[in-house]
Amino acid sequence: MGTREAVTARDAVLPRTSAAVRGHVWRELLLGLTVFGLYGLVVMLPQQGRVGPARVHGEQVFRLERALHIDVEPALNGWLVGQPVWRALANYEYAITYIVSAFGLLAWLYVRHPERYRPARNTFVLLNLGGLACFVLYPVMPPRLMHGLGFHDTVRLDRTWGSWGSPVVEHADQLAAMPSLHMAWTLWVGVELARVSARRSVQGLNAAHIVLTGYVILATANHFLLDAVAAVPLVAAAVFVAGRTARAPAERVPAADAFFLAVESPRAPQHVGGVVLLDTSEAGPRRDDLVRVVTDSLDRLPRFKQRLADPARWRRPVWRDHTAIDWAWHVGERDVGAAGMDGLRALIAEIQRESLPRDRPLWRMVLVDGAQPDRTALVFLMHHVVADGVGVVAQAMRLMEPSPEQAGTTAVPPRRRLREAAATVIGFCQLAVDVAPRARLPASGTSERRFGTVRVPLETAREVARRHDARVSDVVLCMVAGALDRVVPWPPGGSPDGARRDVRVAVPLMMRSPESEAEGNHTTAVMVDLPVGRMPEAERLACIARRSRVLRTGTRALASWFVMRQVGRLMPAPLHARFARAVYGGRFLQGVVSNLPGPDRPMRLAGAPLTEVYPIIPLAPGAPLAVGALGVDGELCFGVSVDPALVDDAGLLTAAIAEVLDELRDGDAHA
């Protein structure tokens, strides 16, 4: 849902971003602190009980190396100890470079390759957890602490700042030699650089760093050669486990979208869409053609291959990939026979009654023959949790030809946060003094629907708006109010008394910024009271033009949007659901009237030209009326959904909508 005339409110809203595939910075820092805390627990283990086993294990490792003739550490250590400059450099290399390379890689992936950050981070966490487990279960004393074997402690000789065992980190775990995390971290950096296809020069530099680290950990007597070798299976295991347990990062349903999951019930399904009439006088698309068009566009329509998953009481569901698409259900065919447009409208009303099942992607198409000669109709529905009306139009256009042009880098006005905050506060005050409507329109309390369509020249509506110093949205509201006056007895259910009464409707306002995606709900709603009663239509339009100023001030829209997006996000899921059901329904509104922007140029679907497009707007719970107006290539197309308790024949209401515009036009002509 949305109206193209609410751009002033829209400019105040930041664009919605997609699911964060790399996670928030504070969460990543918290995870790092958690791993470091586990290391701290290992350090806090009683050292007296670990020193003896650690020395025994160190001697076992050294004897094994001697048996295998790979005990190169004494020779490397003996040479380095006699080279003061190289010894100091080696100590600092040991203390610093493995940290810089590992965390530098994580930062680089986070900024430049967010799609690779999470898998790399998971692997890094796993290899550290694996190393900690080894340190607890099999502590090994490093060679430099094993007196009597001929090793020199280069750390103590130079008192290297920041190195393990130096005064700065005196309380570090000095019995954590097997496996070497220095070697594991540098090897892991090499694996991730290869995975992201880093430049050869970068990978070559890291390969040199691996070799240098291997030399340093042996020459400084911080590790045995087998400690370094043990790092290889540790990294391999971490990569394997992270890969096997990896799941695509799930996007949790935002509060503004979950709102429509909460208000949905079997009596009030919440799917939005439209019915498109195609010129098939030459050749028309068949079901297989439509399946092919959708299949070719799946990469641009992510929600077409996702479903809701992981429902829980205290958490909102997430979007999960669902590749096994049931094409027989998602794309169907019907024939209304000789019933023509009346049969098509009855079919739409029937489809509106059915909630979209949540065990599959939340969209459906039905190709309908027989509506008009040389015409084929396409009924297209998506659940409101997927997108608002503007988003559904945008997604439908992605299936059509020519493809919608890529949006350029539209300049967004700078945000005046203080001014926005003040406007939001004013909006809250305005909403607080708004009173609920005194009476409700009749509603059956069932899922029964009636659907009607009518189209009028868009230029006529524009001309009427210009003559009356109004807007097209005001004319649309006047047409709906005048039609209700003509068709519905006032008071409802009784005889007309001529008294002027108000019908409160929610008018969706578009809060969509230029960078926002087609998915998601980027609209809020502001209530407007429509005058219904016997009066000249010009007088009714003037009254609506005055009352609809609330749509353009932006204060109520900002306050409502703040509640939908920010307050709803902070609410626990059960409380947010109760809030949504309390505020969106017949208690506070009696209908929905939405003016949607549509394509302003000829479009084709599977080679067939579009001739008419009518919006399908869901009824709010307990509210018996929903009207959508869509401007399409010079025509203003109305789709009217109505509860039969209010109007049993939607055709009467749509005919009255056209009559109101005729009266406004003819009155202007007589004047």
**Cβ proximity of 141 and 223 under 8 Å:** no
Q: What span, in angstroms and rounded, lies between the C-alpha atoms of 662 and 642?
A: 23
Same domain, 333 and 433: yes
Q: What is the per-residue pLDDT for 261?
A: 93
- Give the mean pLDDT of 349-354: 93
Q: What is the per-residue pLDDT for 2?
A: 38
Any domain includes 478: yes
Q: What is the per-residue pLDDT for 19?
A: 38
Q: What span, in angstroms and rounded, lies between the C-alpha atoms of 568 and 570?
A: 5
- Give me the phi and psi of 74, to 5 degrees please: -60, -40
Q: What is the per-residue pLDDT for 506?
A: 93
Q: What is the per-residue pLDDT for 22?
A: 55
* Number of domains forming the structure of the chain: 2
Q: What span, in angstroms and rounded, lies between the C-alpha atoms of 378 and 365?
A: 7
Q: From 190, 221, 245, give the residue that closes a domain.
A: 245
Q: What is the per-residue pLDDT for 515?
A: 52
Same domain, 275 and 231: no
Same domain, 304 and 186: no
When pLDDT is cut at 50, 70 and 90, the band that residue 163 belongs to is low
Q: What span, in angstroms and rounded, lies between the C-alpha atoms of 221 and 142?
A: 7
Determine which of 55-64, 184-193, 344-353, 356-365 has the lowest per-residue pLDDT on average.
55-64
Q: What percent of the chain has pLDDT over 90?
A: 38
DSSP alpha helices (H): ranges in 165-286? 181-195, 200-219, 225-245, 255-263
Secondary structure of residue 168 in the 3-state scheme: helix
Determine which of 482-486, 567-571, 587-591 has the lowest per-residue pLDDT on average.
567-571
Q: What pLDDT, in 10s, does the model give residues 542-567?
A: 999 999 998 888 888 888 888 888 88
- Give the mean pLDDT of 427-446: 78
Secondary structure of residue 663 in the 3-state scheme: helix
- Give the mean pLDDT of 612-630: 94
Per-residue pLDDT at 494 exceeds 50: no
| The three-state (H, E, C) secondary structure of 28-97, written as one string | HHHHHHHHHHHHHHHHCCCCHHHHHHHHHHHHHHHHHHHHHCCCCHHHHHHHHHCCHHHHHHHHHHHHHH
Q: What pLDDT, in 10s, does the model give residues 48-75?
A: 666 788 888 888 888 898 898 888 888 8
Mean pLDDT of the chain: 83
Any domain includes 411: no
Same domain, 282 and 387: yes
Q: What span, in angstroms and rounded, lies between the C-alpha atoms of 574 and 307?
A: 21
When pLDDT is cut at 50, 70 and 90, the band that residue 82 belongs to is confident
Any domain includes 71: yes
362 or 8, greater pLDDT? 362
Q: What pLDDT, in 10s, does the model give residues 252-274?
A: 899 999 999 999 999 999 999 99
Any domain includes 541: yes
Same domain, 153 and 283: no
Q: How many CB atoms are closer than 10 A to CB 201? A: 8
Per-residue pLDDT at 160 exceeds 80: no
Same domain, 67 and 131: yes
Q: What is the per-residue pLDDT for 115?
A: 76
- Give the mean pLDDT of 66-95: 84
Q: What is the per-residue pLDDT for 431?
A: 76
Which secondary structure element, helix H or strand E, spans residue 631, and what is its range? strand 625-632
Same domain, 442 and 524: yes
Q: Which of 524, 520, 517, 508 is nearest to 562 (CA)?
A: 524
Same domain, 99 and 221: yes
Per-residue pLDDT at 165 exceeds 50: no
- Give the mean pLDDT of 149-176: 63
**Half-sphere exposure of residue 358: CA atoms within 13 angstroms, side-chain side:** 16
Q: Which two tokens stand for residue 546?
A: 């005055």
Best mean pLDDT range from 4-8, 139-143, 303-307: 303-307
CATH number at residue 480: 3.30.559.30
Whole-Å CA distances, 87 to 12, 94, 157, 411: 60, 11, 9, 57
Q: What span, in angstroms and rounded, lies between the C-alpha atoms of 527 and 9?
A: 15
Angle between helices 114-137 and 25-43 (to 10 degrees): 10
Residues near 325 by Cβ (< 8 Å), separated by ≥ 6? 304, 305, 360, 361
When pLDDT is cut at 50, 70 and 90, the band that residue 24 belongs to is low
When pLDDT is cut at 50, 70 and 90, the band that residue 99 belongs to is confident
Q: What is the per-residue pLDDT for 172?
A: 58
Same domain, 259 and 220: no
- Give the mean pLDDT of 171-186: 79
Per-residue pLDDT at 462 exceeds 90: yes
478 or 247, greater pLDDT? 478
Q: Which two tokens stand for residue 178?
A: 């097997």
Determine which of 151-165, 303-317, 370-384 has the lowest per-residue pLDDT on average.
151-165
Q: What is the per-residue pLDDT for 28?
A: 72
Determine which of 122-126, 156-160, 451-455, 539-543 has the lowest per-residue pLDDT on average.
156-160
Q: Which of 280, 197, 189, 188 is nearest to 237 (CA)?
A: 188
Determine which of 319-323, 407-411, 429-433, 596-600 has the lowest per-residue pLDDT on average.
407-411
CB burial of residue 100 (10 Å; 0-12, 13-18, 19+): exposed
Same domain, 232 and 345: no
DSSP conformation class of 468: T
Q: What is the per-residue pLDDT for 482?
A: 95
Q: What angle do CA 642, 645, 646 make, to 5 degrees?
A: 55
Whole-Å CA distances, 434 to 124, 550, 579, 594: 55, 12, 17, 21
Q: From 184, 212, 245, give the residue that closes a domain.
A: 245
**Cβ proximity of 53 and 47 under 8 Å:** no
Q: Which amino acid is at 210?
A: I
671 or 292, greater pLDDT? 292
Per-residue pLDDT at 10 exceeds 60: no
DSSP conformation class of 665: H
Any domain includes 412: no
Any domain includes 2: no
Per-residue pLDDT at 20 exceeds 60: no
Q: Which residue has the tokens 């009237």?
A: 593
Per-residue pLDDT at 17 exceeds 50: no
Per-residue pLDDT at 529 exceeds 70: yes
- Give the mean pLDDT of 336-346: 92
Q: What pLDDT, in 10s, does the model give residues 359-390?
A: 999 999 999 999 899 899 999 999 999 998 88
Per-residue pLDDT at 512 exceeds 70: no
Q: What is the per-residue pLDDT for 49?
A: 67
Residues near 119 by Cβ (< 8 Å), separated by ≥ 6? 242, 243, 246
Q: From 207, 226, 245, give the residue that closes a domain.
A: 245
416 or 165, greater pLDDT? 416
Any domain includes 1: no
Per-residue pLDDT at 247 exceeds 70: no
Question: What residues make up the domain containing 340?
Answer: 7-17+253-406+417-670
459 or 217, greater pLDDT? 459
Among positive and negative, which fits the CA dihedral 587, 470, 521, 449? Answer: positive
**Cβ proximity of 614 and 639 under 8 Å:** yes
Any domain includes 287: yes
Q: What is the per-residue pLDDT for 487?
A: 93
Q: What is the per-residue pLDDT for 558?
A: 86
When pLDDT is cut at 50, 70 and 90, the band that residue 26 belongs to is low
Same domain, 446 and 477: yes
Q: What is the per-residue pLDDT for 159?
A: 60
Same domain, 335 and 216: no
CB burial of residue 149 (10 Å; 0-12, 13-18, 19+): middle
- Give the mean pLDDT of 647-666: 95
Integer-rounded Cα radius of gyration of the chain: 34
511 or 450, greater pLDDT? 450
Q: What is the per-residue pLDDT for 414?
A: 59
When pLDDT is cut at 50, 70 and 90, the band that residue 122 belongs to is confident
Among positive and negative, which fits the CA dihedral 617, 618, 619, 624? Answer: positive
